[in-house]
Amino acid sequence: MTRRLVCSYLSLMLLVLLVLEVPFGFVYGRGELSRFSNTAEQGAMTLADVCEEKLERGLAAELPDLARNYSRRTGSRVIVADRNGIVRTDTDNAPAVTTVGKDLSAEPDIATALHNRPAIGTRDAPASDGEALFVTVPGTSGADNTVTCVVRTRHPLGALNERVHATWAVLAAVGLGVLATVAVIGFVLARSITRPIRALERATAQLADGRLTDPPATDHGPPELRRLSASFTRTATRLQHLLSAQQAFASEASHQLKTPLTALRLRLENFEPHLAPSAQGSLDEALAEVERLSRMVQGLLALARLENSAITPEATDLDTVVADRAAIWTAFAGEQGVDITVTGANAGHVWAVPGALDGIIDNLLSNALRASPPGTAITLTTVTTPGDGGRTPPMAELHVIDEGSGMTESERQRAFDRFWRAADVHHDGTGLGLPMVRQLARACGGRASLHAAPGGGLDAVVRLRPAQRRAPATTRRPSEGLSATPTPQSAVPRRAKEFR
């Protein structure tokens, strides 16, 4: 922001300088040329009057000396022609360029002067002189202003142009000095203005990492930023209090809720020898509900810990984790007549928080196993996408594909909502498995999605970042028990076909 403020100051000052200095430079240049032209015209007219008088008196022999004197005094080249346009004298006596004796009446400026009108203009002179000012005036006599002679003077403009260029250089130097001064002053002002914003930025980064240790000062900067700092400090304090309370709940609720649930289950199981056979079904349903409530409590606590904790991703071998979890689940899938196969090329290492991949695969296999009828297979496939070299980076994909009944498009869109379950399934599940998968994937810097499998069923896809570059440099706090990874025993429901 400091750079932008300084650039805005410099842009505004540059605009002001351009508006002031550029017109001044052009006006100065035109003014100098106009003054020079007027002086040259007056001198040429005076010389023309003297030449006309000399010709009237028959003293044409004095014209060369008169022209040379004027040429030395003004630094110009002088040509004097008679009333017929024949050159009588030329101060440039070089044989290659002299015009003495030539008829110049056809040249535009001479013709104009012969018609008793002066001609003034600039044009390129010989290479040694560069641009020059030409002044051609008539010398008249008598009451009818008869043109007796014509005087042409050529004044080199090199010295005038150098003076104008020097003025432009001074203007440019003044402008650069002003811009440098404005840059220094603007930088100091911008740093002063943005100091509270930088303090807010540091405080925001600390709050994002979980703890605000250096709150922004509320007595620096403009009044608006002071009020903003005060509001941010109050908000951050309130958020920290709420997060601390929620973290305390997540750490204490596990013990406080598990103990009565365990006691309730034991008491219900103790009823079994004393119940009539007709009540056995009700007891089984009650035990199933207690088990489901226990899993739901564990899932909620795990999600709370995920949302309140931040862990630095580490390079984890995806292929090893997939093979390990598939081996563990194979035996329990075999009890339901379902095969688990692992295919695909090696995906290598990916960025993942500790334990996250285990939790993701266990939850996806648990859901797939519930949805898979006997005689089908669950396929775990790893794929590496190269990316397009632009906005889409390379990713490692994990596919968990089942051959169950699948989901509709609307059901896939809602499947990651907490406690949501399809309407045509049993009610032993908690509806927290897929939300936990999504949260774990986000904690790893990836994402999770559901798609229809080509041969029927569901394709759960988890995209993760390949570990081929350094992990993001963020300071985060480790947390115990990041994910509530379902054990295969608890993941297989007491009644089959319950799904998500």
CA angle 122, 125, 126 (to 5 degrees): 175
Q: How far apart are alpha carbons 9 and 399 in whole angstroms?
A: 55
Q: How far apart are alpha carbons 352 and 340 in whole angstroms?
A: 24
Q: How far apart are alpha carbons 209 and 358 in whole angstroms?
A: 25
Question: What is the reported pLDDT for 234?
Answer: 83
Q: Using an 8 Å Cβ cutoff, are 458 and 452 in contact?
A: yes
Question: What is the reported pLDDT for 244?
Answer: 74
Question: What is the reported pLDDT for 376?
Answer: 92
Query: Each residue of 124-153: pLDDT tens digit?
Result: 765 556 788 999 999 888 777 888 899 999
Q: How far apart are alpha carbons 105 and 115 in whole angstroms?
A: 10
Question: What is the reported pLDDT for 236?
Answer: 80
Q: What are phi and psi of 370, to 5 degrees?
A: -65, -30
Question: What is the reported pLDDT for 302?
Answer: 63
Q: How far apart are alpha carbons 325 and 400 in whole angstroms?
A: 12
Q: How far apart are alpha carbons 247 and 211 in whole angstroms?
A: 13
Q: Which residues of the chain have pLDDT under 70?
A: 94-97, 125-129, 209-210, 221, 246-247, 250-251, 253-255, 292, 295-311, 387-392, 422-430, 468-500
Residue 255: Cβ within 10 Å count: 8
Question: What is the reported pLDDT for 500?
Answer: 37
Q: How far apart are alpha carbons 154 and 42 in whole angstroms?
A: 13
Q: Considering only CA atoms, which of 357, 322, 351 is closest in space to residue 436?
A: 357
Q: What is the pTM of this model?
A: 0.47
Q: Which residue has the tokens 């606590």?
A: 301
Q: What structural domains and CATH numbers belong to the chain?
A: 2-162 (3.30.450.20), 209-308 (1.10.287), 311-491 (3.30.565.10)
Per-residue HEC secondary structure of the chain comes to CHHHHHHHHHHHHHHHHHHHHHHHHHHHHHHHHHHHHHHHHHHHHHHHHHHHHHHHCCCHHHHHHHHHHHHHHHCCEEEEEECCCEEEEECCCCCCCCCCCCECCCCHHHHHHHCCCCEEEEEECCCCCCEEEEEEEEEEECCCCEEEEEEEEEEECHHHHHHHHHHHHHHHHHHHHHHHHHHHHHHHHHHHHHHHHHHHHHHHHHHHCCCCCCCCCCCCCCHHHHHHHHHHHHHHHHHHHHHHHHHHHHHHHHHHHHHHHHHHHHHHHHHHHHCCHHHHHHHHHHHHHHHHHHHHHHHHHHHHHHHHCCCCCEEEEHHHHHHHHHHHHHHHHHHCCCEEEEEECCCCEEEECCCHHHHHHHHHHHHHHHHCCCCCEEEEEEEEECCCCCCCCCEEEEEEECCCCCCCHHHHHHCCCCCCCCCCCCCCCCCCHHHHHHHHHHHCCCEEEEEECCCCCEEEEEEECECCCCCCCCCCCCCCCCCCCCCHHHHCCCCCCCCC
